[in-house]
């Protein structure tokens, strides 16, 4: 339990009173209230440049998810390439479409991000997140995309996450790397960052207060990694993390996409990067459209078997005792209808957003 200090904040928030926090800065409220306020007759919070804004970013290996109160959600591919290092193709991209990032005391870097970087970028996957400039700068570009256009300077309270088994050794260094003054395009930002363990933050959104007592399994299926944990919910008390049943394995959906990429290359002798195939059902091969649905289904089925077998092996002694086995993450829907051992899988509502919603709710508590 000592490896996941952020879990104690989550436990505090899990109590019913946490759902009714209203905070001074920005007059922001918890995510469970945001959708209600958006449809009410209350006046929107006015954004002022001399105030702080609370923002949660889940910079995953597949997609970046971003949330802040009163603003539309942000969802974009986790693709970023330095325009300064790709001069052979960068000249054909309009200058205004480039994102510029400059941290105090460091050079300015120019980037193409999201779909504009699809042909040149590779999916982000660095185990040393604190030293990963691309992930760091993609995170602050996401902040820039979330903020209203009238905000030219702001203090940002930022929440991000790390896979469970990376959290203990990396969370402070990642927080430090994302804390400081940075200019992003036309905005001057001052960041203070906190880091939460993935999966644990999702407990707030997938196991709400008042849930029946018992053991709950939570599996967070991402692009590169799969986090898993078991939480015990006692009667009339906050949940308790069972640390011996928690961990991370590198079995994300990227494995299926790499297999699909290899199959396409073998069959048609054409190269498609794994991240390009995430949503494709057809590809272009020498001027013709080719369906890849059969190859895609084969790759996904084999990946599904590997994931379920690993979870079944790790949780074998306790699996049948679970009250529920809940799956979150961007690739969660692929496990819909799956039975692990004898335990049916439940796909969480808005599974892709479970972690980032937990980050924001925890951040907004002021704890």
Domains of the chain from N-terminus onward? 6-198+355-364 (3.30.420.40)
Q: Which residue has the higher pLDDT, 164 or 110?
A: 110
Give the pLDDT score at 365: 79
Residue 96 has pLDDT above 70, yes or no: no
Give the pLDDT score at 108: 96
Per the CB < 8 A criterion, the answer to whether 346 and 354 are in contact is no
Residue 1 has pLDDT above 50, yes or no: no
State pLDDT tens for residues 317-344: 999 999 999 999 989 999 999 999 889 9
Q: Which residue has the higher pLDDT, 262 or 85?
A: 262
Give the pLDDT score at 321: 95
Give the pLDDT score at 55: 97
Instruction: Report, as an integer, the average pLDDT of 246-270.
Output: 93
| Poorest-pLDDT segment among 15-19, 261-265, 349-353 | 15-19
**Cα 220 from Cα 352, distance rounded (Å):** 9
Contacts of 28 (CB under 8 A, 6+ apart): 45, 54, 68, 69, 70, 364
The most confident of the ranges 17-26, 122-131, 198-207, 308-317 is: 308-317
**Cα 112 from Cα 310, distance rounded (Å):** 37
Per the CB < 8 A criterion, the answer to whether 67 and 73 are in contact is yes
Q: Which residue has the higher pLDDT, 29 or 285?
A: 285
Question: Percent of the chain having pLDDT more than 90?
Answer: 54
260 to each of 66, 170, 225, 331, 361, how far by Cα in Å?
Answer: 29, 32, 18, 16, 37
State pLDDT tens for residues 105-147: 999 999 998 877 767 766 555 666 667 899 999 999 999 999 9
For the chain, what is the mean pLDDT? 82
Instruction: Report, as an integer, the average pLDDT of 295-299.
Output: 95
| Poorest-pLDDT segment among 10-19, 81-90, 151-160 | 10-19
């Amino acid at each position: 339990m000592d490896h996941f200090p952020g879990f104690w904040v989550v436990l505090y928030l899990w109590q019913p009173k946490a759902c009714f926090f209203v905070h001074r800065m920005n007059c922001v409220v918890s995510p469970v209230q945001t959708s209600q306020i958006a449809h009410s007759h209350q006046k929107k919070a006015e954004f002022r440049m001399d105030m702080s804004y609370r923002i949660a970013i889940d910079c995953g290996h597949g997609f970046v998810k971003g949330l802040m109160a009163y603003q539309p959600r942000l969802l974009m591919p986790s693709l970023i390439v330095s325009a300064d290092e790709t001069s052979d193709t960068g000249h054909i991209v309009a200058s205004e479409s480039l994102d510029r990032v400059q941290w105090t005391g460091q050079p300015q870097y120019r980037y193409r991000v999201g779909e504009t970087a699809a042909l040149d970028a590779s999916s982000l996957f660095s185990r040393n997140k604190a030293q990963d400039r691309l992930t760091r700068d993609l995170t602050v570009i996401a902040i820039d995309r979330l903020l209203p256009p009238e905000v030219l300077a702001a203090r940002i309270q930022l929440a991000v996450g790390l896979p469970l088994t990376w959290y203990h050794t990396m969370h402070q260094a990642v927080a430090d790397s994302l804390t400081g003054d940075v200019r992003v395009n036309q905005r001057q930002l001052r960041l203070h960052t906190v880091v939460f363990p993935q999966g644990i933050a999702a407990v707030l959104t997938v196991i709400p207060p008042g849930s029946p007592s018992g053991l709950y399994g939570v599996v967070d299926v991402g692009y590169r990694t799969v986090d898993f944990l078991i939480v015990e919910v006692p009667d009339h008390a906050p949940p308790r993390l069972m640390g011996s049943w928690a961990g991370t394995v590198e079995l994300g959906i990227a494995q299926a996409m790499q297999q699909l990429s290899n199959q396409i290359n073998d069959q048609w002798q054409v190269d498609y990067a794994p991240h390009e195939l995430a949503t494709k059902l057809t590809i272009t091969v020498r001027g013709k459209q080719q369906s890849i649905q059969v190859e895609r289904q084969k790759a996904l089925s084999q990946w599904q078997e590997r994931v379920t077998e690993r979870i079944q092996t790790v949780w074998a002694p306790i699996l049948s005792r679970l009250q529920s086995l809940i799956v979150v993450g961007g690739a969660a829907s692929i496990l819909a209808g799956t039975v692990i051992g004898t335990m049916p899988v439940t796909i969480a509502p808005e599974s892709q957003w479970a972690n980032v919603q937990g980050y924001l709710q925890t951040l907004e508590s002021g704890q």
